[in-house]
């Protein structure tokens, strides 16, 4: 929930209004990392712009693909016996 609130604070839009632009995806990934770090009591320490400077576009796209709805994050399972 924190990541969604952070995204709204940063962009003025709900995550349901996200597009698939690198800007929105990078922002949401940063929000997720900030929230996970806060939950674990860790200081993430990078601003959004510093994070954007440090992350590669292909890494953001790989993260987005891995988190698409219906993706179990694993290999495709065969239905044949």
Residue 70's pLDDT is 74
Mean pLDDT in residue range 13-19: 95
Please state, in angstroms and as integers, the Cα–Cα distance from residue 66 to each residue in 13, 50, 62, 63, 73, following that order. Answer: 23, 23, 6, 5, 6
CA angle 44/49/55 to nearest 5° reads 75
Residue 69's pLDDT is 81
Specify the pTM.
0.82
Residue 68's pLDDT is 85
Residue 72's pLDDT is 57
Residue 81's pLDDT is 42
pLDDT digits (tens, 9 = 90+) for 25-81: 999 999 999 999 999 999 999 999 999 999 999 999 999 999 888 755 554 444 444
CA–CA separation, 35 vs 44, rounded Å? 9
């Amino acid at each position: 929930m924190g990541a969604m609130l952070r995204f709204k604070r940063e962009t003025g839009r709900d995550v349901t209004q996200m597009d698939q632009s690198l800007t929105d995806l990078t922002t949401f990934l940063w929000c997720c990392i900030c929230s996970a770090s806060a939950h674990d009591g860790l200081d993430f320490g990078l601003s959004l712009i510093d994070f954007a400077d440090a992350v590669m576009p292909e890494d953001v796209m790989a993260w987005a693909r891995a988190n698409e709805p219906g993706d179990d994050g694993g290999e495709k399972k065969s239905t044949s016996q």
